[in-house]
């Protein structure tokens, strides 16, 4: 059976950083994100007895079982799917992103959300948002949030089996259509330290990590309130502070993890300066050098113009709250 799906990236306003359970991909803290409109993964899967081994092609590059990037990510995910369904049929997966991969733009989130939706239909698994979110989480924690549209909260959960750790929508895209996020791409290279490894390193060695976890519920309450009330200042100030706290734990890790490059710093300082001048905007940064600037629609053109003129900025993507994971009739093979 051949199935194709599309899922959009999501950018966290309250970050997820650190797993309390690596097998079930359970986070130490909850998180809130915005599913973005203009960055997505398109994936086609086919289960067929003609395949003697799993085949994975991502952005034109083939990966096979036995290779680290396959086994740790898609291989581990498919093992979960086969345990849940009992179906051992081999699979061909062809996936492509319309934005840089493994560069701090949540490509694993959109990738595993699209794969989860396609695999679930092909295998006859549950297709409701909660079940899909839980399955996507087993591939990549942040993928749990890319199943739903708009503004989404991933609940930490308390159960060991992860049955209460899933993401659900706080508000749909049409709730706040004026909200904008500008992705400022300062490097298209794959990052040296992948998020999964970086999280484990931070949890194991950062002396400030427990304090980070302790402060997150306060940020969750503030962002949730800000989204529901469409209070841009509250959302922006909280998201920026939450981002800086997360990166502080990385910097204090041994050895230190510093994802920022000179252009990242240029964007940070510029946003702070422009805000002082009255152009209200805020930044957030995931595990990578890219900066996402939060603003309102009325200021987006001016900000995009200024950001695009900064030294070291490769590309600007102006986006807004976007759709959840969905099927498509367009197959990639």
Instruction: Write out the chain's pLDDT in tens, 333 residues.
Output: 899 999 999 999 999 999 999 999 999 999 999 999 999 999 999 999 999 999 999 999 999 888 988 988 999 999 999 999 999 999 999 999 998 776 667 689 999 999 999 999 999 999 999 999 999 999 999 999 999 999 999 999 999 999 999 999 999 999 999 999 999 999 988 888 999 999 999 999 999 999 999 999 999 999 999 999 999 999 999 999 999 999 999 999 999 999 999 999 999 999 999 999 999 999 999 999 999 999 999 999 999 999 999 999 999 999 999 999 999 999 999
Q: Taking a C-beta distance cutoff of 8 angstroms, is the pair 325, 114 a contact?
A: yes
Whole-model pTM: value is: 0.96
Q: Would you state the CATH architecture of domain 2-173?
A: 2-Layer Sandwich (3.30)
Buried-exposed string 267-287: b where 16+ CB fall within 10 A, e elsewhere: bbebbeebbeeeebbbbbbbb
Please name the residue ranges forming H helices in the chain.
68-69, 76-85, 107-123, 129-139, 195-205, 209-229, 232-251, 262-276, 297-308
Domain 179-319 falls under CATH 3.40.1280.10 = no
DSSP 142: G
* First-residue to last-residue Cα distance in the chain: 13
- Entry field: residues in the chain: 333
Q: So where are the chain's domains?
A: 2-173, 179-319
């Amino acid at each position: 059976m051949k199935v194709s799906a599309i899922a959009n990236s999501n950018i966290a306003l309250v970050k997820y950083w650190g797993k309390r359970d690596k097998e079930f991909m359970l986070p130490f803290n909850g998180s809130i994100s915005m599913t973005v409109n203009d960055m997505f993964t398109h994936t086609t899967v086919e289960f067929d007895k003609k395949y003697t081994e799993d085949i994975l092609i991502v952005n034109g590059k083939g990966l096979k079982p036995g290779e680290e990037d396959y086994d740790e990510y898609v291989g581990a995910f498919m093992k979960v799917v086969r345990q849940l369904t009992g179906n051992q049929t081999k699979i061909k997966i062809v996936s492509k992103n319309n934005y840089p991969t493994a560069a701090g733009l949540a490509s694993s989130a959109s990738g595993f959300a699209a794969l989860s939706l396609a695999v679930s239909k092909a295998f006859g698994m549950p297709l409701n948002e909660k079940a899909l979110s839980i399955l996507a989480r087993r591939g990549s924690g942040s993928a749990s949030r890319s199943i739903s549209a708009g503004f989404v909260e991933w609940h930490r959960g308390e159960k060991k089996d992860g049955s209460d750790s899933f993401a659900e929508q706080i508000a749909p895209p049409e709730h706040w259509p004026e909200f904008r996020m500008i992705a400022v791409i300062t490097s298209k290279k794959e990052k040296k330290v992948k998020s999964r490894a970086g999280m484990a390193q931070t949890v194991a060695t950062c002396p400030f990590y427990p304090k980070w976890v302790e402060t997150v519920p306060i940020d969750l309450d503030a962002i949730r309130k800000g989204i529901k009330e469409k209070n841009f200042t509250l959302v922006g100030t909280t998201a920026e502070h939450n981002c800086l706290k997360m990166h502080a734990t990385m910097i204090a890790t041994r050895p230190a993890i510093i994802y920022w490059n000179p252009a990242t710093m240029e964007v940070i300082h510029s946003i702070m300066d422009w805000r002082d001048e009255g152009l209200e905007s805020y930044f957030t940064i995931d595990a990578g050098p890219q900066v996402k600037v939060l603003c309102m629609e009325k200021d987006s053109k001016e900000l995009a113009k200024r950001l695009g003129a900064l030294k070291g900025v490769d590309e600007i993507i102006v986006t807004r709250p976007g759709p959840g994971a969905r099927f498509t009739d367009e197959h990639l093979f």
